[in-house]
Amino acid sequence: SKATVSVLYWKTMSLTKVAEFKTHGGMVLKYTHDSYTTHTKMTFNIFIPATATKDNLGLPLYFLAGLTCTEDNFMVKCGAQVHAARHNVVLIAPDTSPRGAGIEGEDDSWDFGTGAGFYVNATAEKWSKHYNMFDYVNKELQEIVEANFPVLPGFRGITGHSMGGHGALISAFKNPNQYVSVSAFSPICHPTKCPWGEKAFTNYLGSVEAGKDWDATELMLKNGPFPFTIMCDVGTADPWSVGAEVNQLRPDDFDAAMKEKGQDHISRKHEGYEHGYYFVSTFIEDHIKFHAEEISKAAARGK
């Protein structure tokens, strides 16, 4: 089968380990590899708690970072490893885009191109060879992780922040049988209705209209409810949403869509918190516990 071929491929190909750090009894490992989805070198970090072994497989949780970020922001800034170690959760953090693809204009702005892949598969000719972060996250990276590391196969959680929150939501919505839990911090909830999304979709996909298939609020309205609980946290002082001249996040649109479709969800607004990793680090323990419980329950019942 195609899946079997992919697993055998990754077992016979070598990942290049470029760094390792011991933390909270486990290890953060950084790897690079040649990617068949982006046709570039890609890099990811993985935290493997000491409790995750071939006889006690860890619970895989993918974290997608936001605009301008790399695979390092979450692992370095969030303090998530102590909580992951407590719950036998393996954390996987990919980069946010291909790098060094050599496309004219990819480094011209902070909110598009390098560091801003938006977790879509580009269809515009200029970007379509390399900017396929959706397939990288939801196909290639998972093949690598499940073939090479001690994780429970087939039972996955996904979360993310800002652009990465958008990526986590659409990954789960477009692959509802691939994930058993999904959450987001300060996600870009309705990107067809905000400048960040309009810019990304116009360039990567050719139009804002095409972006509706990559928009969490639109996907909820079209295909919801989904067979999992969604956890979403936002801060009431987020400058990209509350009180901003332009509301880039539009969480109320997403909440309304979930309520309209009867989606099982946990939506929380946290007084005085802003957008960045001070916010994420404050509530990451709740999210890791949520995913650990949901993945464990799904595994116990066989999904």
Q: Give me the active site residues, please.
A: 162, 238, 275
Q: Find residue 60's DSSP bridge partners.
A: 90
Gap between the Cα atoms of 279 and 9, Å rounded: 39
The DSSP 8-state label assigned to residue 73 in this structure reads H
Q: In which region does residue 215 sit, left (phi positive, over 0), alpha (psi from -120 to 50) or beta (all else)?
A: beta
The DSSP 8-state label assigned to residue 248 in this structure reads S
Token pair for 76: 């370095």
- Rg of the chain, C-alpha, whole Å: 18
Secondary structure (3-state) at 96: coil
Identity at 50, one-letter amino acid code = A
How many residues in the chain? Answer: 303
Estimate the crossing angle of helix 141-148 against helix 2-12, to 10 degrees.
60
Gap between the Cα atoms of 47 and 69, Å rounded: 18
CB 255 within 8 A of CB 231: no
Helix (H) or strand (E) holding 63: strand 59-64
Neighbours of 12 (CB within 10 A): 8
